[in-house]
Amino acid sequence: MPNKQYKNLGHTNTNRNTYHVEKGDTLIYALGGLGEVGKNMYCFEHDNEILIVDCGVLFPGDDLLGVDYVIPDYHHLIRMNKKRKVLVITHGHEDHIGGIPFLLRQVKIDAIYAPRFAKALIQKKLSEHKGLERTKIIEINGDSSINMRYFQVGFFDTIHSIPDSLGVLINTPNGRIVETGDFKFDLTPVGTNADYQKMAFIGASHCDLLMSDSTNSGVEDFSISERKVADEILEIMRRTKKRLIVATFASNVHRVSQIIEAALKCDRKVIVFGRSMENAVDIGRKMGTIHIKNNQMLSREDLAHTPDEKVCILCTGSQGEPLAALSRIANGTHRFIHVKPGDTIVFSSKPIPGNQSSVNRVVDNLFRAGATVLNKSVLNNLHTTGHASKEEQKLMMQLIEPTYFMPVHGEYKMLMQHRITAMEVGIPPENIFVCANGDILILRNHKVLQSNWRFQGDDIYVDGNDISGLSTAVLKDRRILAENGLVAVIVAIDSKANSLLAQPIILSRGFVFVKNSQGLMKEASFIVNKALQEQMKEKTTFSELKNCVRSALEPYLYKKTHRNPIVIPVIINSRQAMEEMQNMRRNKRFRKTKS
């Protein structure tokens, strides 16, 4: 039974009956991936076994100041460390594998099962984390199977923007579940085709619950084929008479492969910039997904001596990231490339929501430098998605024919749009579960029920490689500093005499303009002084003095300004240090008066 402290305070499915977890139930819950596009992590728990599908990160937006990654809260899995746990990976994108190093440092995992390309990416990632290099990673494909005590897991090939993408079939003691992973349907794909026959067989042999990718729930019709994108890129290569710079997602390995193939057909040599792009090309060449010989690639030294019409530059930065290669090229700060009049820059991508202004800024700088910029529009097919549109989602449901449905991998709006699509193909609304991270579904004798309990589903903010969760508290302080500023209170005491040596000194940074707030500062100093004198009538500690300063000053500042700055008490237990500080302040005031 889940711990009582995680009792749900408000389900997404508010009009549904809820049930207690009973012995013999199979639990289904997400620790990430619901209400967001990123940090996908879906868990299936039965008795003493937990099957985990994917372990991703979410890349922070501009509001997460100084945060490198957002990962799920692994608290429940840590509590369940005595249970056997297996991790299955559907494909190699960061929102599905990026959290693995952080998970392995806290949770015991028996083995990781990953398709070939994802396995190579994970091994590269773990090699950068000391102590994780020897993690057991077992390669799987569409014909593989995993047999645990309670879970029997099979796979089927899907199409996505990265090689070796799999959907997952999970047989449990209470019924059958399908988790699609990220997918789309493309009748002329680049790479392996989807296994339509196996999906249809799963549907014919009965599936209880389908968990399906919701990212493009609001997009009508079928997405365009990757082959059309390849043809468009090749045509641009042929028409362009000068240097060509192409920016795309490094994770879209099929697209990277197409760009390189088009360049080679047009007798151009390729040079790659951006660490993630260099890694993707290196692994793609080793895996046989990207075909290019060493003599068809340019070194940085050769770039300046190669005719422009023989050059194709492949780089990161299609989302306007400030430190990515294309942004530095546009700003003129790149060490090896400077934009020339006549250069053609191709964005083979679509701006992620929230990145449009950053992309526009890069495009504007490129135009200013005299370049021609081409990006995705109704006039060309420079990009296609790797996620199923509404019609493709319907096709998946028609193939699998589930009794129950749970939309996953998407913001709340996307999940709700996917719910409507499921109703359109005939799934009853009472059989559709739109959940939040931490909500628990119960699979009991082929029926799916909503639990009246839930696990923690919070975000954990990672600064550097810190996984302690302290970065979450640090982020809160950064937000307060950004919005309300800081007030430092310097208090000089004589601990032997248990007395104040002087009136507290209050300094403000980013809170109020001191010159116009002398009255506020003097009154604040008086209030703190009075509270400290009361506290020091009896023996006290430094910690108690600091708490006394905060409890006296914070309510007063909020009452006067309706703002909550960070209050930092500084206790000086030295008469000499206090006298030196007061002399410095007097000298500073004297210099200002003299000037």
Q: Which residues are annotated as a binding site for Zn(2+)?
A: 91, 93, 95-96, 160, 182, 409
Catalytic residue status for 129: no
Cross-strand bridge partners of residue 52: 43, 87
Structure tokens at 532: 């400290």
Residue 486: CB atoms within 10 Å: 16
> Order of strands, edge to edge, in the sheet holding 311-315?
269-273, 311-315, 244-247, 344-347, 372-374
> Choosing from 164, 195, 213, 439, which is the catalytic residue?
213
Q: 567, 489 in Cβ contact below 8 A?
A: yes
Taking the alpha carbons of 392, 393, 394, 400 in that order, is the dihedral positive or negative? Answer: positive
> Choosing from 387, 418, 439, 459, which is the catalytic residue?
387
DSSP 164: S
| Binding site, annotated residues | 66, 68, 91, 93, 95-96, 160, 182, 250-252, 383-387, 409, 463
Catalytic residue status for 387: yes
CA distance 16 to 432: 11
Taking the alpha carbons of 209, 213, 218, 222 in that order, is the dihedral positive or negative? Answer: negative
If residue 380 lies in a helix (H) or strand (E), which one and from where to where? none
CA distance 14 to 34: 17
DSSP 156: E
If 0-12 CB within 10 Å is exposed, 13-18 middle and 19+ buried, where does residue 338 land? exposed
Collapsed DSSP state (helix, strand, coil) of residue 328: helix
CA distance 298 to 295: 8
Structure tokens at 540: 């006290």
| Binding site, annotated residues for Ca(2+) | 66, 68, 463
- From the centroid of its chain, how far is CA 220? 26
DSSP 405: E
CA distance 1 to 539: 48
Collapsed DSSP state (helix, strand, coil) of residue 383: coil
Q: 72, 457 in Cβ contact below 8 A?
A: yes
Taking the alpha carbons of 569, 573, 577, 583 in that order, is the dihedral positive or negative? Answer: positive
| Binding site, annotated residues for substrate | 250-252, 383-387
Collapsed DSSP state (helix, strand, coil) of residue 312: strand
CA distance 209 to 179: 9
If residue 97 lies in a helix (H) or strand (E), which one and from where to where? helix 94-97
Q: 108, 166 in Cβ contact below 8 A?
A: no
CA distance 416 to 7: 24
Instruction: Give the DSSP per-residue string, 457-507.
Output: --EEEESTT--SSHHHHHHHHHHHHHHH-EEEEEEEEETTTTEESSPPEEE
Q: State the catalytic residues.
A: 213, 387
